[in-house]
Amino acid sequence: MTDATTPPTAIRPDTTWIDAQIGYLLRRASATMAADYAKHGDALRPVLVSMLSVIDANPGIGQTELGTSLGIQRPNVAPLVADLVGRELVERRRSTTDARRLELHCTPRGIEALARGRSAIEAHEARVTAALSDAERSVLHDLLTRIVER
């Protein structure tokens, strides 16, 4: 029972249990980051920047390998690559040794877009983790990496 003039949930609900769950905090932290990225700038979506960065570092990579390296399933890679191709940031070239493969390469415009995307993401990460020291950012990176299955 609570004081009749003070409803039980008037100030702030009790969220003790759920606030202790790592999975829940991961979802909330991801949402915080997505909101920050959407709020600032008009750069490429993070997933497209991540694809550009892997294609740039691995010229000629195939779409299946690209998806595997980023944790994106093959059927979902196709429209994302099509988006990059439509923006003329990436070229698909049919492999001469295996006609099934499409080898991906960044165009000059793609290289430029990647540089801008990286800057946007790095500034965004700095904003969201502004409350953390460099050492804490490093620890967070290590702990998250050890959760991600490989």
Residues near a second copy (CB under 8 A): 7-9, 12-33, 35, 37, 46, 50, 53-54, 57-62, 65-66, 69-71, 118, 121, 124-125, 128-129, 131-132, 136-137, 139-141, 143-149
Q: Which does 17 bind (CB under 5 to 8 A by kind): DNA, a second copy, none?
A: a second copy
Q: Which amino acid is at 7?
A: P
Query: Please, are residues 59 and 114 in contact by the beta-carbon 8 Å criterion?
Result: no
Q: Is residue 76 part of the contact set for DNA (CB under 7 A)?
A: yes
H or E segment to which residue 106 belongs? strand 102-106
149 contacts: CB under 8 Å, gap ≥ 6: none
Angle between helices 108-128 and 46-57 (to 10 degrees): 130
Q: Does 65 bind DNA (CB under 7 A)?
A: yes
> Does the protein bind DNA through residue 81 (CB under 7 A)?
yes
* 88 interface partner picked from DNA, a second copy, none, CB below 5 to 8 A per type: none
CA distance 110 to 62: 17
Query: Count of CB atoms within 10 A of residue 94's CB?
Result: 10
Considering CB distances under 5 to 8 angstroms, the limit depending on partner class, which of a second copy, DNA, none binds residue 92? DNA
Residues that bind DNA (CB under 7 A): 27, 31, 34-35, 45-47, 62-65, 72-79, 81-82, 92, 98-103
